[in-house]
Structure 1
Amino acid sequence: MATRRYLLYDVFTRTGLAGNPLAIVLDGEGLDTERMQAIAAEFNLSETVFVTPPENSIHTARIRIFTPRQELPFAGHPTVGTAVALSDRVSEIGQAERTSIIVLEENVGPVRCAVSTANGAAFAEFDLPRTPEPFALDVPAEVVAAALGLAHHEIGFENHAISGWTAGVPYICVPVANLEAAGRARLDAGLWEELAPRIGAVLSDAYVYCRETVNHDCAFHARMFAPGAGIPEDPATGSAAAAFAGAVLMYDEPVDGAHRYWIEQGVEMGRPSRIRLEIDVAGGAIEAARIGGGAVKVAEGRLFV
């Protein structure tokens, strides 16, 4: 019986059993879309990656990303986790510190990742394949509040208002007053499916954020709900942070230059994560942006299907 090796990594963390778990099937050749989707449903993690040889030989690998219910064109924690895993595989035994460049072919296009390892800890950062773009929203704030189980007055802080953004995957970014309001958010999946627009074939997910944080060095606290994708809540979402860069630019109006933000997520789930968002601003617009985070291998095994 043919077997396929898989790895389990915790992503956007430097310690195991935190951050966002990711399954990586290393031998994806020969699997069709239906089979990949069934395997992703079997793992039942927020995302599962299937690795195959690259279409362009100068790249590292081709990857396809699946939630338990659908394929995604791009996602952050699968990109970070797979880059670290592939860097781990090609590293020289006993090499304590190294930097690798990994290029992953995703459905959104090639994604360039830099992986650095020092003292046994791995950190990967990737260039956004697309800078965030806004999409139109025609949903009253009180309806969004109701879908999240919050009062209307708890939506928004400072000049931040509800906005829609995509950098490959669409999100409705919902600012809330404080940590207490963020902690009480509970998404009504049925109501959300009625109000949230689809961008292409993908339902916009809910990205709830506030300025108040648990960790003093973080700029934002966030939660992400994606019941339409089979993810009631996600402990760390790089594609959401990528889209959120558009809201940061719109409302915080950072001056031209490089800006770095740490975003905490997963706290309410008991799986704390840390996502690094870097934005290069030129002429009042995002010239480039990057997402980074740590990843730790916690298990490996073989599939017999």
Structure 2
Amino acid sequence: MSDPTAITLPFATCDVFTEVAFGGNPLAIVEGADALSVAQMQTIAREFNLSETIFVQSPDDPAHTAKVRIFFPTAEIPFAGHPTIGCAIHLALKDAPDGDFDTQVTLEEQAGLVPVKVWRTEGRAMAEFRAPVIPHAVEGVTTPGTDLLAGALGITPETIGFGRHRPAVWQGGPRFLYIPVRTLDTLAQARPQEPRWSEVMEMAGVDSAYLYTPGDACDLRARMFSPTAGIPEDPATGSASAILAAQLMASGALTGTNQFTLHQGVEMGRPSEITLTVLSEGDRIETVLVRGSAVPISQGRIRIP
């Protein structure tokens, strides 16, 4: 039975990095969250139990659209891509419920200020953000060898790496272990295997691994595993896609302005599409842009813990 005295907040859910409902990566957006404590936000994120929940607060600078806090089911994180895309589209659609538009949403995230271009054309809503941190190497960590990585994923050592692509750890707010594999069959076969998975995560100083390989009908197809963060597998990971720019630079795959179509979530039955644009000069990354769509799914009110 509902409690008429309970205080509630509005929420919405959407599927991000897809134009098809019930594809891509689900996101919960909780508005009016200024008075929530970290513990309350964590409790709500655990209740939704999605890979991420984003909480919308009043901005510190009134020139910006909103301040946001992003949570895994288990912890707060400084930046994430699919909450940024989904929340920006959600806020823009509230201001422009009908017709085509082209606008700018500016989100204050813990990793920094994130400008997001949002537009709708013929009913198709899209957003593109500029990564708040240029991805870079992580000091003081050791990239596990291929034998250990293979054991942690249930694949064979010779299937790891292709061309100049080799495993490495990169950071850009969050950090990820990047593991290139040779074929789509290997990508489909991979699964975290204990106890070696935990050994790999501890050695690399991460809780997430991003696997990728050349794809069909896309440049790269990927999977992202993060079971220790409460995410057995993520259907679409915008932050990992942004930080992938550093992995591509180290692999010799960047020259000037580059655009990549990334597919993720296929093996989960939640296919997603992410567009990654990297502007580079020489061996230096100048700008990283991540683009995708979102589809509204539900809305309602949630009790405050």
Bin of the TM-score, shorter chain as denominator length: over 0.9
Partner of residue 246, structure 1: 246
Determine the structure 2 residue equivalent to 1:28.
33
Say whether residues 1:90 and 2:95 are aligned partners.
yes
> Equivalents in 2 of 1:142, 1:26: separation in Å?
46
Partner residue, 2:267: 268
Q: What residue number does 2:227 align with?
A: 227
* 1:203-247 Cα shifts (integer Å, max 9, x gaps): 341100001x13x2x110000001111000000000111111111
Q: CA deviation at 1:191?
A: 2.7
Q: How does 1:164-183 map to 2 (within 5 A)?
A: 164-183=169-188
Deviation at 1:27, TM superposition (A): 1.6
Paired with 2:243 and 2:105, the residues of 1 have a C-alpha distance of 22
Report the CA distance between 1:155 and its aligned residue.
Answer: 0.6
What letter corresponds to residue 294 of structure 2 in structure 1? A
Residue identity matched to 1:270? G
Match of 1:142 among 147, 158, 161: 147
Matching residue's letter, 1:268 = E
Task: Report what 2:68 is aligned to.
Answer: 63
Counterparts of 1:50 and 1:190, CA distance in 2: 35
CA–CA distance in structure 2, aligned partners of residues 73 and 254 of structure 1: 27
Distance in 2 (alpha carbons) for counterparts of 1:77 and 1:59:
19
Residues 53/179 of structure 1: CA separation in 2 closer, same or farther (3 Å cut): same
Which residue number in structure 2 is paired with residue 152 of structure 1?
157
Shift of 1:252: 2.8
Give the match for residue 288 of structure 2. Answer: 289
Determine the structure 2 residue equivalent to 1:102: 105
Aligned to 2:11, the other structure's residue is in SS state strand
Q: In 1, Cα distance between the equivalents of 2:246 and 2:197?
A: 22
User: Which whole-Å CA distance do the structure 1 matches of 2:84 and 2:162 have between them?
Assistant: 31
Length-normalised TM-score, structure 2: 0.94
Deviations 1:16-57 (A, max 9, x none): 100000000012121100111011011000000010000111
Paired with 1:198 and 1:108, the residues of 2 have a C-alpha distance of 24
8 Å CA contact 1:193–1:203 kept in 2: the answer is no
1:252 is paired with a residue of what secondary structure?
Answer: coil
Displacement of 1:253 in angstroms is 3.8
SS at match of 2:251: helix
Give the whole-Å Cα distance in 1 for the aligned partners of 2:155 and 2:44: 36
2:136 aligned to which of 127, 133, 137: 133
Q: What is the TM-score with the length of structure 1 in the denominator?
A: 0.94
Check if 1:81 corresponds to 2:86: yes
Deviation string 1:187-214 (CA, Å, 9 cap, x unpaired) is 1254323222488xx7341100001x13
Show structure 2 runs of 5+ residues with no match.
Answer: 1-5
Q: Answer whether contact 1:223 1:266 (CA < 8 A) is retained.
A: yes
DSSP 3-state at the match of 1:34: helix
Task: Check whether the contact 2:143–2:168 (CA below 8 A) recurs between aligned residues.
Answer: no
- Residue 113, structure 1, aligned to residue 116, structure 2: yes
Indicate the larger mover: 130-139 or 80-89: 130-139
In structure 1, distance between residues paired with 2:88 and 2:266: 25
Aligned structure 1 segments of 4 or more residues deviating by more than 3 angstroms: none
- Tell me if structure 1 keeps the 8 A contact 2:125–2:293: yes
- In structure 2, give the amino acid aligned to 1:18: G
Alpha-carbon contact 1:103-1:112 (below 8 Å) kept: yes
Contact 1:121 1:296 in 2 (8 A): no
SS in 1 for 2:62: coil
- Corresponding residue for 2:3? none
Counting only pairs closer than 5 Å after superposition, residues 49-60 of structure 1 correspond to structure 2 as 49-60=54-65
Identity of aligned residues (%): 39
| Structure 2 letter corresponding to 1:124 | A
Question: Which whole-Å CA distance do the structure 2 matches of 1:252 and 1:221 have between them?
Answer: 18
Gaps of 5+ in 1: none
Structure 1 residues 241 and 189 mapped into 2: Cα distance closer, same or farther (>3 Å)?
farther
SS in 2 for 1:137: coil
The residue type equivalent to 1:243 in the other structure is I
Give me the CA root mean square deviation.
1.4
Equivalent residue, structure 2, for 1:161: 166
